Structure 1
Amino acid sequence: MCCRVKDGRIPLRNQSSISVVHAGAGASTTPLRHEGEYEVAQSDGTPGNSALRESVAALRDNPRATVLVIGGGINGIGTFRELALNGVDVALVERGDYVSGASSASSHMIHGGIRYLENGEFRLVNEGVHERNGLLKIAPHYVKPLQTTIPIYSTFSGILAAPLRFLTHKSGKPQERGALLIKVGLTLYDFFSRDGGTVPRHQFHGRKRSLNELPQLDPKIKYTATYFDASVHEPERLALDVLHDALIGGKKARAANYVEAVGADEKGVVLRDRESGEEFTFAADVVVNVSGPWTDFTNTALGTSTTFMGGTKGSHIVLDNPELVEACEGREMFFEHSDGRIVLIYPLKGRVMVGTTDIDADPTKPAVCTEEEIDYFFELVSHVFPAIPVNRSQIVFKFSGIRPLPRHDDEAPGFVSRDYRIEPSTLPGNGSPVLSLVGGKWTTFRALSEHLSNEVFTRIGVTRRVSTVKTAIGGGKGFPRTDASRAQWISQHRSSLSSARTGQLLERYGTRAKEVIEALVDGHDEALTFDKDFTTGEVRYLAQHESVVHLIDLVMRRTNHAFTGGLSRELLEELAEHTGAVLGWDDATRVSEVDATIAHLKEYNGVDVGGTSVQTPTAVPVS
């Protein structure tokens, strides 16, 4: 498909979107530290590791590709996969770790975006529910149905304000939406969800039945509305599966993290390995700038000044509160507070995640969850579950990210479009086309990547050979969907491991657990001393096969250790020992990696790692 360019822009046509997108390789000319970055000093005091990594050497030694993708968040990786599976010679670089920027700060939801109906973004909602239904089929190991309940306090509230918001895209006077308005919205949402998916239609219940099902709810409610969307419990791991598909399925696909675009010359884009400091020029027929909120900075580094982006900050906190977990009854509570903002209370991984905010943000500054936001979150919980106490001692993790939204003026943050557009330009040095992605949302990364890739195909004269609409992602291929098929898979693949351990790995990695099991059986493996749910062999496997460069990559994006509050200094030291054994760290590097990880977690995630081991929610025998 070819889109005609009008007034220098590619029009919205069959487009998709992404709600949270990763930072990508940005401009070194503007010193930035986004929330996914950190530096590790070597024993000689210089940043990073001096040895050139194999993935970087593969780019330097053959410094040319048909397409260069700048940005390793979910839609950069998704575009990389689309191109690779269609046989394109494509390279991807990411200035931090993969999915360490905005893509890592999602609400862990795969949803059509019911609130976008009020904004009039019907195309976006239609595409969102279509992609949600698709991901439930092609990524069933990480994307699951999510029952969602809206507590409702009035019947008619918001009826007059809603049309004004629709017409002006301004927030107006804050008002909760009443039952009638929510009923209309959910009926429309069901209509958009009719495309062959298995998601049930919404239900409305009165106060008596609502409190019978959810007895801890505020007794002042009048109704509840329940509908289904989907959750993605492991967004980072899903993105890594997408990356793995590209590298395995694309014969000419190369990718490297911790590599940034720092400039351009007559030959192409100048890249810098942030670990060794080495720079080299990389030539490409087409450059795709998928840097999320930092897109303008990447363009500046490449020699073109743009003002496309105007992101907003979204924050979340994670609570260790068993009473709140139980009160949710396995569902997400999704509602509008009296100030007009959409918020959620979401049981996840044995904890409860509460979010989110929508605040104008400066992408040159780190996104951090503030004390005011925490107070706001506690107010939200009390609004829904007034009898359940919450306090700061229960916070095990907090995180923030900047949404890659288009530049907006006086439009209220909550009404800024989550759709996207593609902005074409050229490299000043050699005239190669540059396609910059502006805006989007996580849910529709596959459709967005498909559309963006189609634009690339037009420019390089290639016809699409492979569709990813029904192509399983990573460990979703052959993933068992029933208890019987799950038991059969475990029996066939357990080898010398226990059924419980094999099942744990299946849930953690999907059917790619087969690769992990083979590595564990072939090598020395025993439970970690400070986390019995992980083994030494599993940690080494992740370090060796999943592009781990720093310890923070392992604890934030390859495992759940940070998110669930399961970290201690002893565990970090143990993880560094086994990771370092694979990556060749000396004693000084291991110490610096642990110290840097502790500092990062404290500054950005509110995690103060003490000297005492913290138990994870469950433990499974390793053999």
Structure 2
Amino acid sequence: MQELHEYSKCYDLVVIGGGINGIGIANDAAGRGLSVFVCEKDDLASHTSSASSKLIHGGLRYLEHKEFRLVREALAEREVLLNKAPHIIRPLRFIMPHRPHLRPAWLIRTGLFFYDHLGKREKLAGSNLVTFDGLDSPLHPDIQRGFEYSDCAVDDARLVVLNAIQAREHGAKIMTQTQCISAVQIEGLWHVTLENEHGVFQVKAKVLVNAAGPWVAQFIRKNLNLKSPYGIRLIQGSHIIVPKLYEGEKAFILQNDDQRIVFTIPYLQRFTLIGTTDWEYTGDPNHVEISAEERAYLLDVCNDHFKQQLTEADIVSTFSGVRPLCDDESDNPSAVTRDYTLALSAESTAHAPLLSVFGGKLTTYRKLAEATMDQLKPFFNSMKKEWTATALLPGAEHFNSIDELKDQIQQQIKGIGEATAERWAHAYGTRTMHFLQHSNSIHELGQDFGHGLFAQEVDYLVDQEWAITSEDILKRRSKLYLDFNQDEIQILEMYLHVLHERRLRQNVA
């Protein structure tokens, strides 16, 4: 219990929530010289932030809802984030098959013109018209032309983890599996009560940031006993994963009769990721699962476009999450704004402020964090200037290309497979060398769990990336979950249990 006493210190910021917005705010604040504490009740990115379509995109369809400010900001952020993390973010070309009965060609061309020019575009190619050869095209023969444009693909969970690592390197304290029970204001400070496996403890904060995502309004009502300034709408988005649906590395954006769109995205070399849905959700955000209707919906949209027909039997895996969107009273879940709203409640600079984050999207997390810090400037006179636009995320230092790094890994580690070297290069960038250290062959990497996962990587994820369970490692850190069977998972769990017990004994000592 001696370690818990340390956390009674007072921080400038305590952030509730370890998703992309909470971690993004924590990283920005720590880099400006503020002391920061983050608590996350589960794993980093364990809910909404790992259940996305894995895209950094402007949001082409948001133009139809006149979300010009959001689209402009998101388009500019594509290039910023591509420069910050080229190992986990890559350019991706999208093809939109033209369905004249849904949207006329002139409307799509106009939308793509805005998409090409609303935001700063340096690395990404512009849009163009494409025609389809009936024999070579994966699409139905009646679809003869379409439009092509650029966005980016991202490993969403790793984007969160890399921001968390950078925040820690700037001094932030980040604790997962730690729940905020309550917070009260006493003499101008927030007294925040937390609980984890070590027990109940308390930290103090000059500012409390509520980035609890789907629980943002509930946290205000139940944990703070205050009235939430905004309502929150939970919109369920589900995805299915099937064996590779077509050759090539381009994504498709499919228009549907209900005016929604569905993406088909190349995923993990062997699969196609299909999503997403937009369904109102009223259940527990901790337990979101795809419905039979959603599965059928996504299969139907694909079958309406592609020659290869999919059935339930083709679904390899699924995942679902809820988007916590600020309630704008729209009747259509697809039309609810994806923009963010920051609610700051403080009577004066003498009172401890509460800043709550409503809405937001993965692509604009960095701008949301900057906007948060702008609102908090009056409370921190010595806060440093904004810095995240040009700062590389961990692993992007001295990074030239995936191929070059992959070759470097294979030259150092004798016997390592190309697929594993490429996975490491994408996931860790140049930080791969942090866990490879002085190893020269696969025989020096410790226990082999299969599929290119070795003990040396697992130890690194536990020691440096807050991983605790096999799901943390396989789903959110390495994306190997589609390769491991139950017996292999159990062996990994046994190893993690031994590691965890060892760490507990060290902490007690």
Q: Which residue of structure 2 lines up, in the alignment, with residue 303 of structure 1?
A: 225
Is the CA contact 1:273–1:279 (under 8 Å) kept in the aligned structure 2? Answer: yes
More strand by percentage = 2
* Deviation for aligned residue 1:464: 2.6
Matches within 5 A, 1:363-442: 364-365=284-285, 366-385=287-306, 387-425=307-345, 431-442=351-362
* Deviation for aligned residue 1:71: 0.8
* Deviation for aligned residue 1:482: 7.4
Q: Which residue of structure 2 lines up, in the alignment, with residue 313 of structure 1?
A: 236
- SS of residue paired to 2:193: strand
Q: How far apart are the structure 1 equivalents of 2:479 and 2:438?
A: 21
Which ranges in structure 1 are unaligned for 5 or more consecutive residues?
1-51, 158-175, 587-623
1:528 aligns with 2:453: no
1:515 aligns with 2:434: yes
1:285 aligns with 2:206: yes
Q: Which residue of structure 1 lines up, in the alignment, with residue 253 of structure 2?
A: 334
Runs in 1 of length 4+ with deviation above 3 angstroms? 57-63, 485-491, 495-504, 519-524
Q: How far apart are the structure 2 equivalents of 1:219 and 1:92?
A: 53
Q: How far apart are the structure 1 equivalents of 2:127 and 2:185?
A: 57
CA distance 1:63–1:520, change in 2 (3 Å)? farther
Cα deviation 1:452-496 (Å, max 9, x = unaligned): 12222332223333511111111122211375x5477548x8266
Q: Which residue of structure 2 lines up, in the alignment, with residue 99 of structure 1?
A: 45
Q: How far apart are the structure 1 equivalents of 2:201 and 2:414?
A: 47
Residue identity opposite 1:286 in structure 2: V
Residue identity opposite 1:262 in structure 2: I
Is the CA contact 2:87–2:429 (under 8 Å) kept in the aligned structure 1? Answer: yes
Residue identity opposite 1:462 in structure 2: S
CA distance 1:213–1:420, change in 2 (3 Å)? farther
* Deviation for aligned residue 1:60: 5.0
Q: Which residue of structure 2 lines up, in the alignment, with residue 467 of structure 1?
A: 387
Residue identity opposite 2:267 in structure 1: L
CA distance 1:442–1:504, change in 2 (3 Å)? closer
Is the CA contact 1:325–1:351 (under 8 Å) kept in the aligned structure 2? Answer: no
Q: How far apart are the structure 2 equivalents of 1:432 and 1:59?
A: 23
Q: Which residue of structure 2 lines up, in the alignment, with residue 188 of structure 1?
A: 114
Q: How far apart are the structure 2 equivalents of 1:410 and 1:504?
A: 42
* Deviation for aligned residue 1:257: 0.7
Residue identity opposite 2:150 in structure 1: F
Is the CA contact 2:98–2:143 (under 8 Å) kept in the aligned structure 1? Answer: yes
RCO (CA 8 Å, sep 6+): is it higher in 1 or 2?
1
Is the CA contact 2:234–2:280 (under 8 Å) kept in the aligned structure 1? Answer: yes
TM-score by length of 1: 0.74
Q: How far apart are the structure 2 equivalents of 1:58 and 1:479?
A: 39
Correspondence for 1:494 among 407, 412, 416: 412
- SS of residue paired to 2:316: strand
1:221 aligns with 2:143: yes
Q: How far apart are the structure 2 equivalents of 1:579 and 1:519?
A: 23
1:80 aligns with 2:26: yes
Q: How far apart are the structure 2 equivalents of 1:570 and 1:384?
A: 38
Q: How far apart are the structure 1 equivalents of 2:310 and 2:121?
A: 41
1:204 aligns with 2:129: yes
Q: Which residue of structure 1 lines up, in the alignment, with residue 263 of structure 2?
A: 344
- SS of residue paired to 1:403: strand
* Deviation for aligned residue 1:196: 4.4
CA distance 1:410–1:445, change in 2 (3 Å)? closer
* Deviation for aligned residue 1:274: 3.3
Is the CA contact 1:138–1:477 (under 8 Å) kept in the aligned structure 2? Answer: no
CA distance 1:235–1:293, change in 2 (3 Å)? same
Residue identity opposite 2:380 in structure 1: I
Deviates more, 1:211-220 or 1:116-125: 211-220
Q: How far apart are the structure 2 equivalents of 1:482 and 1:548?
A: 25
Q: Which residue of structure 2 lines up, in the alignment, with residue 506 of structure 1?
A: 425
Q: How far apart are the structure 2 equivalents of 1:264 and 1:558?
A: 31
Is the CA contact 2:402–2:426 (under 8 Å) kept in the aligned structure 1? Answer: no
Is the CA contact 1:454–1:464 (under 8 Å) kept in the aligned structure 2? Answer: no
* Deviation for aligned residue 1:575: 1.0
Is the CA contact 1:145–1:231 (under 8 Å) kept in the aligned structure 2? Answer: yes
- SS of residue paired to 1:99: coil
Aligned-pair Cα RMSD in Å: 2.5
Q: Which residue of structure 2 lines up, in the alignment, with residue 178 of structure 1?
A: 104
Q: Which residue of structure 2 lines up, in the alignment, with residue 548 of structure 1?
A: 467
Q: How far apart are the structure 1 equivalents of 2:397 and 2:161?
A: 15
Residue identity opposite 1:180 in structure 2: W
CA distance 1:552–1:481, change in 2 (3 Å)? closer
Is the CA contact 1:148–1:228 (under 8 Å) kept in the aligned structure 2? Answer: yes
- SS of residue paired to 1:177: coil
* Deviation for aligned residue 1:585: 7.2
Residue identity opposite 2:499 in structure 1: V
* Deviation for aligned residue 1:271: 2.7
Is the CA contact 1:314–1:403 (under 8 Å) kept in the aligned structure 2? Answer: yes
* Deviation for aligned residue 1:258: 1.3
Q: How far apart are the structure 1 equivalents of 2:73 and 2:415?
A: 42
CA distance 1:64–1:416, change in 2 (3 Å)? same
Correspondence for 1:236 among 125, 148, 157: 157
Q: How far apart are the structure 2 equivalents of 1:469 and 1:363?
A: 37
CA distance 1:124–1:58, change in 2 (3 Å)? farther
Deviates more, 1:410-419 or 1:237-246: 410-419
Is the CA contact 1:425–1:435 (under 8 Å) kept in the aligned structure 2? Answer: yes
* Deviation for aligned residue 1:526: 4.5
Residue identity opposite 1:318 in structure 2: I
- SS of residue paired to 2:232: coil
Correspondence for 2:497 among 580, 585, 589: 580
Cα deviation 1:542-584 (Å, max 9, x = unaligned): 222221233322222122122xx22212111121132223212
Q: How far apart are the structure 1 equivalents of 2:409 and 2:32?
A: 33
Q: How far apart are the structure 1 equivalents of 2:468 and 2:444?
A: 23
Is the CA contact 2:70–2:339 (under 8 Å) kept in the aligned structure 1? Answer: yes
* Deviation for aligned residue 1:121: 1.2
Q: How far apart are the structure 2 equivalents of 1:482 and 1:313?
A: 34
Q: How far apart are the structure 2 equivalents of 1:499 and 1:567?
A: 17
Is the CA contact 1:82–1:468 (under 8 Å) kept in the aligned structure 2? Answer: yes
- SS of residue paired to 1:470: coil
TM-score by length of 2: 0.90
Q: Which residue of structure 1 lines up, in the alignment, with residue 506 of structure 2?
A: none
Cα deviation 1:189-231 (Å, max 9, x = unaligned): 11124x24211111113xxx31269522111124210001100
